[in-house]
Amino acid sequence: MSMTFLRFFVLFFSVALIAACTPQQPIEGGSSLKVEGFDYQNSDNEAIRIAEEVLEVMGGKKQWKKARYFVWTFFDERKHFWDKNTGNIRIESLTDSLLIVMNVNTSEGKVFIGKEEISNPDSLKKYLERGKKTWADDSYWLVMPFKLIDKGVTLKYLGTKGNYLDVPCDVLEVTYKQGSPNTLGERFEIYVDKTERMVTQWAFYHKTSDLSPSMICPWTDYEKYHNIWLSSGRGNGELSDIYVLDTLPLYAFNTSDMVVVSDFIR
């Protein structure tokens, strides 16, 4: 073997080794963008692939990340304002005069009954805990398809089943490693239309071991809100007055002052 060939071989091998060991940059919108805390080890590749298709059809990772302020009314019972970037929320009860403004990340905030602010520490803590749980449940009813690949989630593929209209769907199972972040259930079955790749139905189980779901509910009436798709129809009920906004005033999240949503629609 000549010295020239040997030098070439060593140089080629070194370059190939460096290239193989150099971290590759993730592609925007691709599956190589890992979600911190998601249970990749115990989740099915097929389930992950379907969940990513759902996210893409719903507007994609980029548009979901850009969407910041969400407003919606939950079954005519309460009105929500949510700053997705900061965790600030506002919950206005439509059945009484209760108002909760808080941050779900810090669990700090204020509670008003009418114009009177709750000052008793025990009462305040109770209402803030209630507000955080209410937001966790009600926001999942709105944005669940964007949370299929999320912190703490284990995702399994259950095969093909018909939904409430007997339309063939891929069914995903959602469970949580450290317990469900909401009070709806510990296990969910998500029905994804095989053609349109949108969620058309869900079933949730209060306990993972339950054989029958606590509720089965369709997802209908999709509309586009600020470049992402959201569903409002939930069988006999609905999520109404849905908005995705560019801005909301800070006072919406720390005072009892009235917030007129139409002032911030562009």
CA-nearest of 152, 151, 148 to 171 is 148
Predicted pLDDT of residue 47: 98
Cβ(175)–Cβ(154) under 8 Å? yes
In tens digits, what is the pLDDT along the chain, a chain of 266 residues? 444 433 433 333 343 333 333 333 333 334 446 899 999 999 999 999 999 999 999 999 999 999 999 999 999 999 999 999 999 999 999 999 999 999 999 999 999 999 899 999 999 999 999 999 999 999 999 999 999 999 999 999 999 999 999 999 999 999 998 877 888 889 999 999 999 999 999 999 999 999 999 999 999 999 999 999 999 999 999 999 999 999 999 999 999 999 999 999 98
Give dist(CA 21, CA 33) in Å, integer. 19
In this predicted model, what pLDDT tens digit does every residue of 164-219 receive, in sequence order?
A: 999 999 999 999 988 778 888 899 999 999 999 999 999 999 999 999 999 999 99
Which tokens hold the place of 8?
Answer: 């070439």
Domains of the chain: 45-264 (2.50.20)
Give dist(CA 199, CA 65) in Å, integer. 20
**∠ CA 241-242-243, rounded to 5°:** 120
Cβ(104)–Cβ(84) under 8 Å? no
φ and ψ at residue 179, rounded to 5 degrees: 95, 150
Predicted pLDDT of residue 14: 40
Cβ(100)–Cβ(132) under 8 Å? no
Give every CB contact of residue 169 below 8 A, 6+ residues apart in sequence.
Answer: 160, 161, 162, 163, 191, 192, 193, 194, 200, 201
Class of residue 16 by CB neighbours under 10 A (exposed 0-12, middle 13-18, buried 19+): exposed
DSSP 169-213: EEEEEEEETT--SSSS-SEEEEEEETTT-SEEEEEEESSTT-SS-
